[in-house]
């Protein structure tokens, strides 16, 4: 895994400089010890609805930081949110109109950005505990699925829960629950273990976002709430404008992982 | 403690009926096993600033629920927020203009109410662990103090952290930390142990809200973040209108304490 060894050792500002320069890769495995975040930026008029949506769906939308209207950074992300992620998705009236690596020209002057914890943050801890992370082994993006579970709506925003999936041996599930429970700010414990059909997922090999991963005989798919959930709400609720990260291509923050791990 | 035994056994709707009928008492010790909450209600135009203030100051302002604009209740408080608390404080431009037991005539049609966890919720657990709760022993209201610590501001809102205080033997402090750490939704672990002067508190016998309690020789004052903090922000920031509970006279919710206790 030489190709991930170097990214893991980078500091957040070093990683952000590479993305700003045009590197476009999923960030799983990058910047060990630092918190990764989902981005959703909306005009100020929609900010209350989104913050309330996050408050009502804390497993999917743990808020790490909120910028001042129009600001492109924050004390917890000392870069430029418009350029320093590997890739972005731009939605107009719920339609994906662009996937680009710079959204400076689309950032309205009243834009409010929300940084939402990402489960990539706890993958180091899973690996240290001996739980495999298949998409890191494969060098691919994590598979993510739209479920049949509705989030609690807030104002104009409603939509389904999106989950990420990591397969593992049945004997490792309890360890994965125990380890990730310590990280509530980056989705915490799994929301579902096994039984994809119960979540309304018909084909594990056809994720709605990211890449499929191999599920080996005897392995169980384990599902975590995912910070792409806000983008699914945008697609369903069709606000005028919203900007998110490209799934798997996260904001790498200046928040140390240790800052929000619970005992 | 015959006088508290009956209130402790009441269900939330029974307690709310008494308050609606005019009973005006602090709610410490009431409705064992149910979550108590601070109230702050503001016009919709201020709701984003307040929700963001809460997100930025989670120890003081753990949000349990947010009502729809104009609604007087919610699924987690199946009563009438305008009548079912023992007492309210009404602020206009930051000035306390009324302390009343019914705010129906002041509830504007776009009012948004925030229910913020209250530390009264974990007092049963403290008592069960052998930690005294002096204001319950004394039959008085908990002492609360404005500190010299500034909250993180949000939009129009800024103000000092308010804390509640419970004195205990030095040997009981670790137990109190351990027990209350399990209740992050109702302020969690203490923010400060001992040294009131470090918090800018000059006289423990002169709380800014509630009643003084006896601190016995050898006892240490232990301070928890307090849900009166939003009212201190209202006093400092002077929004047009805000309605809070009278300190210590809480909303008794339909949220079981067990729902949000962590392991």
pLDDT tens-digit readout, A53-83: 999 999 999 999 999 999 999 989 999 999 9
Q: How far is B51 from chain A (nearest CA, A)?
A: 7
- H helices of chain A, in order, are 2-9, 12-20, 44-56, 123-128, 134-138, 173-180, 229-237
State mean pLDDT over A17-30: 95
What is the share, in percent, of chain B residues with pLDDT greater than 90? 94
Flag whether pLDDT at B263 surpasses 90. Answer: no
Indicate where chain A has its CATH 3.30.2040.10 domain(s).
121-225
- Give residue-wise pLDDT tens across range A112-157: 999 999 999 999 999 999 999 999 999 999 999 999 999 999 999 9
- Give residue-wise pLDDT tens across range B135-192: 999 999 999 999 999 999 999 999 999 999 999 999 999 999 999 999 999 999 999 9
B234 touches chain A (CB under 8 A): no
pLDDT for residue B2: 41
Indicate where chain A has its CATH 3.40.1640.10 domain(s).
2-119+236-258
CATH topology (fold) of A121-225:
PSTPO5379-like fold (3.30.2040)
Residue of A nearest to B114 (CA): A52
Which neighbouring-strand residues pair with B41?
B113, B243
What CATH number is given for A2-119+236-258 in this structure?
Answer: 3.40.1640.10
Nearest to B231 by CA among B246, B210, B250, B211: B246
Indicate where chain B has its CATH 3.40.1640.10 domain(s).
2-118+236-257
User: Starting at the edge strand that comes first in sequence, how are the strands of the sheet with A219-225 ordered?
Assistant: A144-150, A160-169, A219-225, A192-193
pLDDT for residue B137: 95
What CATH number is given for B120-225 in this structure?
Answer: 3.30.2040.10
What is the share, in percent, of chain A residues with pLDDT greater than 90? 94
pLDDT for residue A140: 94
Look at B52 and A56 and tell me if their CB atoms are within 8 Å: no
Indicate where chain B has its CATH 3.30.2040.10 domain(s).
120-225
Task: For B226, list phi and psi in degrees, rounded to 5.
Answer: -130, 145
Q: Give the CB-side neighbour count of residue A182, counting CA atoms within 13 A.
A: 17
- Give residue-wise pLDDT tens across range A219-233: 999 999 999 999 999
A111 touches chain B (CB under 8 A): no
CB contacts, 8 Å: A52 with chain B = 51, 66
Distance in angstroms (rounded) separating the CA atoms of residues A111 and A162: 24
Superfamily of domain B2-118+236-257: PSTPO5379-like (3.40.1640.10)
Distance in angstroms (rounded) separating the CA atoms of residues B77 and B72: 9
Q: How far is A47 from chain B (nearest CA, A)?
A: 7
pTM: 0.90
């Amino acid at each position: 895994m030489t190709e991930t060894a170097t990214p893991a050792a980078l500091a957040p500002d070093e990683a952000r400089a590479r993305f700003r320069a045009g590197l476009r890769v999923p960030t799983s495995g990058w910047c060990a010890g630092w918190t990764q975040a989902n981005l959703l930026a909306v005009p100020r008029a929609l900010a209350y609805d989104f913050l309330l949506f996050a408050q009502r769906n804390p497993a999917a939308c743990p808020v790490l930081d909120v910028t001042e209207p129009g600001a492109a950074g924050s004390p917890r992300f000392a870069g430029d949110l418009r350029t320093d992620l590997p890739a972005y998705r731009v939605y107009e009236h719920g339609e994906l109109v662009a996937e680009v690596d710079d959204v400076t020209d689309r950032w309205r002057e009243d834009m409010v950005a929300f940084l939402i914890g990402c489960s990539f943050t706890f993958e180091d801890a899973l690996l240290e505990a001996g739980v495999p992370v298949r998409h890191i082994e494969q060098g691919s993006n994590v598979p993510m699925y739209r479920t049949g579970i509705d989030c609690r709506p807030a104002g104009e925003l409603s939509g389904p829960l999106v989950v990420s999936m990591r397969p593992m041996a049945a004997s490792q599930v309890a360890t994965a629950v125990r380890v990730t429970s310590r990280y509530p700010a980056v989705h915490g414990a799994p929301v579902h273990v096994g039984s994809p059909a119960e979540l309304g997922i018909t084909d594990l090999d056809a994720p709605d976002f990211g890449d499929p991963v191999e599920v080996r005989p005897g392995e169980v798919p384990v599902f975590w709430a995912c910070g792409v959930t806000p983008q699914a709400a945008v697609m369903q609720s069709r606000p005028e404008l919203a900007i998110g990260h490209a799934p798997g291509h996260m904001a790498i923050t200046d928040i140390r992982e240790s800052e929000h791990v619970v005992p």
